[in-house]
Amino acid sequence: MAAILPPGPLMVDVQGCTLTAHEIERLQHPLVGGVILFSRNFESREQLTALCQAIHAARTEPLLITVDHEGGRVQRFKSDGFTTLPSMRRLGEIWMDDSLAAMRLATETGYVLGAELRACGVDLSFTPVLDLDYGGSQVIGDRAFHREPQIVAMLARALIQGLMLSGMAACGKHFPGHGYVQADSHHEIPVDDRPLEDIMREDAAPYGWLGDMVLPSVMPAHVIYSQVDPNPAGFSSFWINTILREHLNYNGVVFSDDLTMEGATVAGDILARAKAALTAGCDMVLVCNRPDLADDLLGRLEHTPSESSIARIRALMPRVVSPDWATLQSQARYQYARDLQSEIISG
């Protein structure tokens, strides 16, 4: 019997709708701990379910399967029965008319989001976005709930409750906040020149209010907060250890954002980026859309995760068995929550 390997610190992706022999070999590398899926990995629910089963079967202790599936314009799976989910800004708009209704609807959205993914074998969606909607960020835009941190925190809490009802954990992003800067960290290196006090009072506030009991994982931004630290937040021990771990008393998982993004290039090559993120306090780093860089990193990275890091990552795995798709369709709770989604979108 193969040895049971603990989850490693690297999250990789796969290129198609089935696994190649080389991808299976890559997933069995002891430094790999998870897989992130994209739209290219989806042809049908049946295919997606088989792909997730194959990824889980690649290791004795199954890898964590993740996806960016937030609702609105960031929803990787949209056909073959998957419900079209509203943008988070839409929930914020409803809040302005009826806050209690908005929270109820956010819970139902979170439940549908999580239940459908889990029925196909996906373990975690990188959601909710906790960035504030300042109105100038093209990459955030309607992915954010609202401009006010209190409203963001309340709607995020409600959405996370829905995820929990489906058996899925949550990931808040992008700490301490990507909403103020206009530059897109996928293609540029954003710089936020505000003082620490302003950022903590506004953008970082939802993280302190929610905490790790509600928000079991966090993803820092590839943004440089120039008055605070010369490094992007995901490469900054000050942001991750001093502010997040110590000041906010946060003990959940910290994921890096994708290390192939332009905002990560300030740290150097892919090995330097991974080392910078892990040294700063990230538990797991993401390498997306560049299998060559993933293989390069696996061939050169030397890193032994701490027992606390391993335990945090393991805690993100679902703890209850999810109903399959057919069983899910027969559940009145699911049908009720699903039918609400088109009403939310249409207003």
pLDDT band at 189 (very low <50, low <70, confident <90, very high): confident
User: Cα separation of 320 and 167, whole Å?
Assistant: 6
Q: What would the pLDDT profile of 325-337 be if each residue is shown by its tens digit?
A: 999 999 999 999 9
- For range 145-164, the mean pLDDT: 98
User: 157 a known binding residue?
Assistant: no
Average pLDDT over residues 302-315: 95
Q: What is the model's pLDDT at position 223?
A: 95
Q: What does the pLDDT average to over 181-192?
A: 83
Q: What is the DSSP letter of 262?
A: G
pLDDT of residue 84: 97
Say whether 229 counts as a known binding-site residue. Answer: no
Does the pLDDT of residue 306 top 80, yes or no? yes
Average pLDDT over residues 19-42: 97
Average pLDDT estimate for 186-197: 90
Neighbours of 265 (CB within 10 A): 16
Nearest alpha carbon to residue 185 among 128, 145, 246, 232: 232
Q: What is the pLDDT of residues 56-86, one digit of tens each?
A: 999 999 999 999 999 999 999 999 999 999 9
Q: Is 143 annotated as a binding residue?
A: yes
Average pLDDT, the chain: 95
**Has residue 3 got a pLDDT over 90?**
no
The model's confidence at residue 187, banded by pLDDT at 50, 70 and 90, is confident
Q: 222: closest CA among 252, 253, 267? A: 267
What's the average model confidence in pLDDT over 94-123? 98
Q: What is the pLDDT of residues 192-239, one digit of tens each?
A: 999 999 999 999 999 999 988 899 999 999 999 999 999 999 999 999
Q: At residue 2, does pLDDT exceed 60?
A: no
pLDDT-derived band at 264 (thresholds 50, 70, 90) equals: confident
Distance CA 106, CA 71 (A): 11
Annotated catalytic residues are 186, 257
pLDDT exceeds 50 at position 1: no
Percentage with pLDDT > 70 across the chain: 99
How far, in Å, CA of 112 to CA of 104, rounded? 13
Are 105 and 344 in contact, with CB atoms under 8 Å apart? yes
Kindly list the structural domains of the chain, giving each domain's residue range(s) and its CATH number in brackets, ordered by start: 43-54+68-343 (3.20.20.300)
Is there a contact between 14 and 40 (Cβ–Cβ < 8 Å)? no
Q: State pTM to two decimals.
A: 0.96
